[in-house]
Structure 1
Amino acid sequence: MSESRKNAAALTRRATLTTGALVGVDGLLNATPAAAAPRESARYTRGWAVLREASGERGAAVVESLRDIAPDLGRYVVEFAYGDVFSRAGLDLRQRELVTVAALAAAGDTASQLDFHMDAALNVGVRPAEIIEALIHLVPFVGFPRALNAVGVARKVFAAGDVTFEPPVMEEGGDRYERGKEKLLEIDGAHGLEVVESLKDIAPDLGRYIVEFTFGDVYHRPWLSAPSRQLVTVGALTAVGDTAPQLRVHIGAALNVGLSARQVVETLIHVVPYAGFPRTLNAIGVARAVFEERNSSR
């Protein structure tokens, strides 16, 4: 395929909406906030700028596709998801797109939205290997099926954008349990070992799998930083819901690896457009307890 045809194909794909509608590329490039939302506001203008920075003309296409059926929904996407949430300080766009991909993959049945946000992640500088690594990292928290489905979406996104990379392959070595125990202590501290010890009277092998697979295999992989892993973990657990004990451990781990309390809270707020207020409110309650416990122990 010639370079010009590749470029044209890429533009056509970016104009294909998550809803399945198609908007002309010229119209997208000429779209303005006022055209998409008659009641333009400062929030809308701010959100529009962030949306275009993250996703280019593809974001404009999503808003445009809603004008004939739910224009206010399109306006809320711009004003709230991007004007209020994405534009907040505390996390950069790379971190926010990683959290978004994690939350969507954890929620399941979100292929169209994953396609959109994986494309946006690449657009803001997340490396292809980091996207795949984030999906591998999710396996202990949401299972193989959702991770496999998300990897399938990533394959399509990479192919459509002519993205090529050499997928890393881990060379295993040493004792998995000892390696995992060392990583568990590094990430979760003594509390992580307490969780494993608590299983010895009923499911000791489950505790062993946590150490060997979650920490000896997955956390041990070097292609995603420790802070990024905890952003992915906290975002995914919040999106799944009903994970208060695990969130308690991993919010603590986020602080252990250098994330600030503000960054943890920003991660939870960021999940609202993708998993809703109830799950985020529950997660905020867990974070409050972790922060209070940390402060009281000083």
Structure 2
Amino acid sequence: MSATATTSRYDRGLALLQEVSGTPVPGVLSSLADIAPDLARYTIEFGYGDIYHRPGLTIRQRQLINIAALTALGTAAPQLRFHIDGALNVGVTHREIVETIIHMLVYAGLPAALNGLTVARQAFADRPDPEQAGLGDPAQSRIRPTETSEERYQRGLAALKEIDGHAGEQVVAALEHIAPDLGRYTVEFCFGDIYSRSGLTLKERELASVAACTALGTAAPQLRVHLHGLLNVGGSREEAVETITQLAGYAGFPAALNGITAAREVFTERDADPRTAGR
């Protein structure tokens, strides 16, 4: 690669990193200068000059995807804090960040979501937003305490059909003879409670789900379901591929390559079905 091409990657990466970090001298440069300056350069050139600079996703979407993946992984609190701050810098709201983290409890469990919210609380304390007042006020809760289990189930079933269609129904049906309660919890809680919350669009929730399932690296069947779901709620194949490609920088190349294998299978299935061919 020529020196000019390398400089171009670095310069455009640095410009994007400055936008996300909100500082002319991003911390990655100073923190690695004494031990691994090349790693800082790779972060700028590859992470931002190559990946972030690609079309297909907005910078807001990329930040929500990072928050989802890093929350799900549960092993990178400093980086999660950086990307929460970065999300705020590019116009993501406190509410959208909280909803993304809450969404992750479906895929990574309560500890991961609770730890993610601890990081978010620290970030918000340094960046209060008057428009988000009452975010944690019980009076503003989205929970419906008088709602019956059947009402939650029916709302969840409607959401499941809208998002995942036949693929989602197959997941629930597969549990009927071995763990029917788990199937019901999937509908009632995952879709009736979590997916039905406001604050994020269904497309944003599916982008977050694809990011989490890719990053975890242990959920290929669920990744395929949510790739279908993303496409069913208006996401594009390009957005699906871009989301998975971005995870190469945050979860590693094996996770991204396995995610692309799942995407290839989903696209092939949809092309073979007249109802979904080409979308």
Per the normalisation by structure 2, the TM-score is 0.90
CA distance in 2, matches of 1:63, 1:236: 28
CA distance in 2, matches of 1:216, 1:162: 31
Measured in 1, the distance between the counterparts of 2:186 and 2:128 equals 37
The residue aligned with 1:83 is 49
**Alignment-derived partner of residue 239 in structure 2:** 263
**Of 26, 29, 32, which aligns to 1:66?**
32
CA shift, 1:146, in A, is 0.4
How many angstroms apart in 2 are the aligned matches of 1:267 and 1:78?
19
Identity of aligned residues (%): 50
Q: 3-state SS of the aligned residue for 1:182?
A: helix
Superposed structure 1 runs of 4+ greater than 2 Å apart: none
Closer, same or farther: CA 40–200 of 1 in aligned 2, 3 Å? closer
Residue in 1 that maps onto 2:154? 178
| 1:241 maps to 2:213 | no
- 1:114 maps to a residue whose letter is L
Partner in structure 2 of residue 112 of structure 1: 78
- Alpha-carbon distance in structure 2 between the residues aligned to 1:124 and 1:156: 18
Taking a change above 3 Å as real, the CA distance of residues 282 and 40 of structure 1, as seen in their structure-2 partners, is closer
1:217-296 equivalent positions in 2, closer than 5 A: 217-296=193-272
SS class of match (1:253): helix
Q: Could you give the per-residue CA deviations for residues 81-109 of structure 1, whole angstroms, max 9, x where no partner exists?
A: 00000111000110000000111111112
1:67 to partner: Cα distance: 1.1
CA shift digits 1:48-101 (9 cap, x unpaired): 011111112176222122111100000001000000001110001100000001
TM-score (norm 1): 0.85
Q: Which amino acid aligns with 2:115?
A: N
Cα displacement (A) at 1:163: 3.3
Q: Whose Rg is larger?
A: 1
Provide the rounded CA distance (Å) in 2 between the counterparts of 1:171 and 1:263: 31
* Partner secondary structure for residue 128 of structure 2: coil
Aligned match for 2:176, one of 190, 200, 205? 200
Count the aligned residue pairs. 260
TM-superposed deviation, 1:252 = 0.3
Q: Residue by residue, what CA displacement relative to the aligned partner does 1:183-225 show, whole Å, maximum 9, x if unpaired?
A: 1001100221111111111100000000000000000111110
RMSD, matched Cα = 1.4
Q: State the alpha-carbon separation in 2 of the partners of residues 191 and 61 from structure 1.
A: 44
1:100 and 2:66 correspond = yes
Which amino acid is 2:259 matched to?
A
Following the alignment from structure 1 to structure 2, what is the Cα–Cα distance between the partners of residues 159 and 118? 12
Aligned to 1:44: 10
Matched, 1:130 2:102: no
> How many angstroms apart in 2 are the aligned matches of 1:216 and 1:178?
7
Contact 1:51 1:59 in 2 (8 A): no
1:171 CA drift (Å): 4.1
8 Å Cα contact 1:47/1:83 also seen in 2: yes
Partner of 1:221, secondary structure, is: coil
Q: CA separation in 2, counterparts of 1:129 and 1:162?
A: 12
User: What is the distance in 2 between the residues matched to 1:40 and 1:266?
Assistant: 22
For structure 2, list consecutive stretches of 5 or more residues without a partner in the other structure. Answer: 275-279
Instruction: Note the C-alpha offset of 1:40.
Output: 6.2
